[in-house]
Amino acid sequence: MPPTDTASPPPRWARFAVLALVLFTLFYQLGGRALNEPDEGRYAEVGREMMASGDWLTPRLNGIPHLSKPPLTYWCIAASLRLFGVNEFAARLPIALAALGTLLALYWMVREARDETTALWAVVMLVSSALFFLVARLVTADMLLTCWVTWSVWAIWRRSNWLFVFLALGVLTKGPVAVALPLFAMIGLRPHWRDFRWGRGLLVFFGIAAPWFVALAIQNPDLWRYFLLREVVQRVASDEHGRSKEWWFFFPVLLGGFLPWTFLVFHRRPLDSATRMFAAWVVLGLLLFSLSQSKLPTYVLP
C-alpha cells in the first residue's frame, strides 16, 4: 500500500536521535557480561562447534546432534564467531542485528500505514520496552524469529511476494510457527489473499526452507519423528518440557514486558485496515501461544 503520510515530516534531528537511541540500546556493552546459562551458553556452544567442525548441516552440542531448532540461528552465530572471534559480543551480534532488522521493518510498516512521526515513536517505544530490550541482547532464536515475522507482516501489508522469502527464513529459524503468525495478520486483510503469486511463491518458499530438512532427514532418518513430534506437537500438547503454565500466563507478560508503554494498549485507534491487521496478528498470536502447553516469556515477542 502507498504511504499515507499527510502529517508534516519530523525534523532531521529526530531521525538521528532515534537512530542513536537504537544503536546505543542494542550494541552498547553487548559483550560486557558473561553468557547466561543454560540458554545463551547452549546456543553459543552449538554455533562454536558448527564453526570448528565445518559441519553446517547438523547442529551439535558436545558432539551430539542437537535438533531442537532449525539451523538458521546457529548458522548466524557460527558465522559471527568466525568473523569476530569466540567471545560474548560475537555470539550476541546476530541477535542484536535481528533486533535492528525488526525495528526497521516496524518503521517502514508504520510509516506506510500512518506517518513518519508515528513510525519513529513506534521504534522508540519498542526499543525501550523491557521485553524487547532483554531479548535483543540474549542469545536465543526468539529475536531472529521476531525479525522474520515482522518483515513477513510488512510484506503482507505491501502485498509483496517477498513474503515467501521471509516465511521460509522464519521456518529455518523456529519451524512452523513462523508461518502461522504472519498468516494471522493476513486474516485481518482478507482481500490481500488474492494479491500474491501463490504458485511461484510456494516454489520459492520450499526452495529455501526445504533443502536443509530434506538433507538432514537423509542423514538422520528419525529427524521428522523427533522434530515434528517432540519439538512441535509435544511442545504444544504436553508438558514434557516442564514449561506448562496457566492459560493466562502471557497477559501479565505483555503488561510487564512492554513497560513503560503498556498504558497505550487502552488508547482508542481508528478501525482501519492497519488496525485490523495488527489486531489479528496480536490477538490470534496470543491465543495460539496461550493454548500451547509450553510457555516461556520470550515466546510472546513475535
Give the number of other CB atoms < 10 A from CB of residue 271. 9
Residue 87, domain member (yes or no): yes
Q: Provide the 3-class DSSP secondary structure of residue 298.
A: helix
Q: How many domains does the chain have?
A: 1
pLDDT above 90 covers what percent of the chain? 53
Residue 197, domain member (yes or no): yes
Residue 288, domain member (yes or no): yes
Residue 151 predicted with pLDDT over 90: yes
Contacts 24+ apart (CB under 8 A), 105-111: 105/147, 105/150, 105/151, 105/153, 105/154, 106/150, 108/154, 109/150, 109/153, 109/154, 109/157, 111/3, 111/5
Q: What's the confidence (pLDDT) of residue 190?
A: 67
Place of cell 510484506: 155
Q: What is the mean pLDDT of residues 224-231?
A: 66
Average pLDDT, the chain: 85
Q: What's the confidence (pLDDT) of residue 240?
A: 55
81-85, 149-153, 237-241 — which is least confidently predicted? 237-241
Residue 33, domain member (yes or no): yes
Residue 3, domain member (yes or no): no
Q: What is the mean pLDDT of residues 60-74?
A: 91
Per DSSP (E only), the strands in the chain are: 60-61, 64-65
206: nearest Cα among 172, 161, 232, 159: 172
Q: What's the confidence (pLDDT) of residue 106?
A: 96
Report the predicted TM-score, pTM, of the whole model to 2 decimal places.
0.88
Which residue range is the domain that position 109 belongs to?
A: 12-300
Residue 2, domain member (yes or no): no
CA-to-CA separations, 264 to 16, 29, 150, in angstroms, rounded? 25, 30, 20
Residue 6, domain member (yes or no): no
Residue 2 predicted with pLDDT over 50: no
Residue 165, domain member (yes or no): yes
Residue, of 28 and 193, whose pLDDT is higher: 28
Residue, of 186 and 248, whose pLDDT is higher: 186
Q: Is 43 exposed, middle or buried (0-12, 13-18, 19+ CB in 10 A)?
A: buried
pLDDT digits (tens, 9 = 90+) for 265-280: 666 666 677 777 877 7
- The grid cell for 226 is 523427533
Q: What's the confidence (pLDDT) of residue 165?
A: 98
